[in-house]
């Protein structure tokens, strides 16, 4: 009688626990479902199930992160309501031992004081927890009534005179650049020193081209 055989394969699918700080991201943004919960996310996550089937600022950015990263991207997300205290959510995540390299804020900032507050939060986390984090923060994109020069004029005061080396502000011209840039920075095939606009990893996958008031 023939002897039976058993084959065992160890396959890295990237679906296990998030254990490294490098390329780990924490998204914080508005969505309909699971408000206030810290949810682990990765390249295999179903964001309709996690955050609701309706479009939302958080889901738009995490989908772009998923498209522009690779099959090993992983991190966390916190959905919140419109009037939520984002700083309190960050503190809660830190208390729950969530240790990301990048914290992504999906609600667009409207002034330099908000940018400076995120820079101050990065320094506070470093001082109190010895964790080096940086913030990627959304800024408003084009409205139907604006042309390009209007938008440039509107965005300039947000960063003018601001010293915030741990905080980057990303205008949502297409609508999902914030998540796309984050995905590029989380690709395991390249180093963190590379630009998120690097060409060796291919073209970025974004929403359709924006149209200004002049068409």
Q: What whole-number distance in Å separates Cα of residue 16 and Cα of residue 40?
A: 10
Element (H, E) at 113: helix 112-129
pLDDT at 107: 96
pLDDT at 194: 60
pLDDT digit string (tens) for 62-121? Answer: 999 999 998 889 999 999 999 899 999 999 999 999 999 999 999 999 999 999 999 999
In a domain, residue 43? The reply is yes
pLDDT digit string (tens) for 172-195? Answer: 999 999 999 999 888 887 765 566
What's the domain range around 66?
24-185
The gap between the terminal CA atoms of the chain, to the nearest Å, is 78
In a domain, residue 211? The reply is no
* DSSP code at position 209: P
* DSSP code at position 141: -
In a domain, residue 19? The reply is no
Quote the pTM value: 0.86
In a domain, residue 203? The reply is no
- CATH assignment at residue 81: 3.40.50
CA 186, 190, 194, 195 dihedral sign is negative
In a domain, residue 193? The reply is no
In a domain, residue 7? The reply is no
- Sequential DSSP letters for 34-99: SBT-EEEEETT--HHHHH-SS--HHHHHHHHHHHHS-TT-EEEEEEE-TT--HHHHHHHHHHTT--
Task: Tell me what the pLDDT averaged over the chain comes to.
Answer: 88
In a domain, residue 2? The reply is no
Taking CA atoms, 32 is separated from 5, 48, 52, 66, in Å, by: 50, 10, 6, 20
Q: What whole-number distance in Å separates Cα of residue 212 and Cα of residue 215?
A: 5
Q: How many domains does the chain have?
A: 1
In a domain, residue 6? The reply is no
Whether the predicted pLDDT of 8 surpasses 70:
no
């Amino acid at each position: 009688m023939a002897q039976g055989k058993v084959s065992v394969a160890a396959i890295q699918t990237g679906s296990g626990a998030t254990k490294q700080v490098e390329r780990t991201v924490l998204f914080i943004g508005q969505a309909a479902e699971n408000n206030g919960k810290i949810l682990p996310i990765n390249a295999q996550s179903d964001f309709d199930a996690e955050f609701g089937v309706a479009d939302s600022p958080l889901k738009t950015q995490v989908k772009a992160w998923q498209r522009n990263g690779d099959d090993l991207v992983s991190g966390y997300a916190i959905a919140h309501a419109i009037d939520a205290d984002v700083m309190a959510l960050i503190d809660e995540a830190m208390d729950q031992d969530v240790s990301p390299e990048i914290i992504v804020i999906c609600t667009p900032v409207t002034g330099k004081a908000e940018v400076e507050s995120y820079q101050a939060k990065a320094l506070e986390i470093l001082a109190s927890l010895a964790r080096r984090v940086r913030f990627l923060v959304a800024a408003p994109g084009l409205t139907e009534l604006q042309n390009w020069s209007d938008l440039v004029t509107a965005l300039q005061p947000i960063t003018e005179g601001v010293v915030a080396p741990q905080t980057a502000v990303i205008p949502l011209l297409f609508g999902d650049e914030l998540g796309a840039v984050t995905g590029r920075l989380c690709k395991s095939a390249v180093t963190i020193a590379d630009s998120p606009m690097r060409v060796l990893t291919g073209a970025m996958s974004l929403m359709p081209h924006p149209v200004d008031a002049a068409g």
